[in-house]
Structure 1
Amino acid sequence: MIRPSDPHPCAKLAISVATAEARPVIGGQPQPAEDLVRTLLQTAADGGVSRVAVRPGGEAERQLGQAWPFPSPFSVSVRTLPISEGLDRVEARARRSLERMGLPRGDVLMVQAADDLAGSEGRALWDRCQALKARGLFKRVGLKLTMDDGPALMARRFLPDVVEIPCGLLDQRAERAGVLAELAELGCEVRVSGVFARGLLFGPREAMGFEAPDSQTRAAVSRVRLRLAEARLDPMQAALAYALGLEHVSVVLIGARSAAELRAVMAAAGQPAPQIDWGAFSLTEAPTARRVSSAA
């Protein structure tokens, strides 16, 4: 079931902050990455976005630590390292993430994949995360899942405070199968990712650093683009309207690489939700794309 967007839809947005690699030239000088992140965060705060998600690696954590507005309005989610790194390193890196960002505590510690809990050390990993919560380093513990993980079953087994799961205009399985409702009934805060289908609706994949989708996916996406055009809907507006209107969803996770990008997202999120049959835009299979290695 889809509901009308909340009166202040940007309040449901969470931004996933990646390392700011692009450094536009302003006044003849390259802009420092920290300044880009600072502008991004201020734009988010001014627009009512109060959640930030980050994963270990790169310079994003350090840049965030140098760029928080004061006082900071943000609650921060941190993703764990893979269990293959070892339990001690996973725990140490979660602590280190907070240190790098200059935070005494985080909001959510997200286990990065269900597979990490499936092995012999899965329960020990979960117990380590719960211990960090008990010590006050994180308020909540969450779990990043996919539809292939049996999300409702995993939620019943581990009882996470938060579940993140892909659900968007092109891949509506979590909503149509009732998974979002099941997770909410279990008391989980439901977060959806994959809202923009990794850019499939917006332009050539190669230009974004992804491999091109196969011909079947290209044809399906082209049909969706045509339907959107016929309905006079901007793809970004449609993708956000669908996700923000999901009845059982509390947080919509989006990527933002710059303040300008975030302003475009917030403007689209603020548009009135169209009255339309969203199911007509769903693809049978979830669109996927693999990022091209920088060495390729």
Structure 2
Amino acid sequence: MDTAELDAYLRRLGAEHPAWPTLDVLRELHLRHLRAVPFENLSIHLGEEIVLEEKQLLDKVVGERRGGFCFELNGLFGALLAALGYDVTLLAARVYGEEGRLGIPYDHLALRVRTVDGGDWLADVGFGANSHYPLEFEERGEQEDPGGTFRVVEADRESGGREFGDLDVLRDGKPQYRLELRPRALGDFVAGAWWHSTSPASHFTQSLVCSRVAEGGGRITLSGRTLTVTSAAGDREVTELATDGEVLAAYREQFGMELGRVPEVGEGRRVR
């Protein structure tokens, strides 16, 4: 990431160039990213190829002011942090699904980030509803966050996690995903991204989602033609959008995204 690309990315987040890679800066960038860059799977339903390479991700997230899902968002955020002087390690994870079942290998990408003043932190701007701030990596007790109460704990031995040093990330007592501690490269996640964008078993191919953290701490989500605005207190306002014009206006006004057409579930496979 060259200087011009770095500056453009920071402008996308509304952030200044920091002097040092500190914990306070990491916390600020993490929250700004969640507010500015939506978690979305629209490429799957627009027939757009998902390429896990830095230049293509910069073009999409910064140039086109789009979002993405975990591999794209955390992959690019990790590159930004590394360019700012942070020690960043990409980690693979498997997401807990129904009945506590773990998903495929390389199901999710998260970041282990070392700051100059605050130890190691778990950063994740690509998991939808998650912590607003990085979690302390070595802390095993409860960590309070605007997004809930989180814990990072050793994985259960009976399920084969502890012997490998795996960690489970819990939100409000419910397991979210299991982290492997072995360092990975962005290219390692290509198969996971392909599966999630093509498999009928992936929830990403079955539904549309575009979501971000709101300025007041709540969440704004557009799922298909349903716009849901949730306050920090949990109050929800749901609006059904009747026309394509209303849907495109919601993408523009709520997420800053200019789309040429309304994405529809399954349409992407026909476009390809």
Higher strand proportion? 2
Q: Which has the larger radius of gyration?
A: 1
Whether the TM-score (by the shorter chain) exceeds 0.5 is: no
**TM-score, length-scaled by structure 2:** 0.31
Higher helix proportion? 1
Greater RCO (CA < 8 Å, at least 6 residues apart)? 1
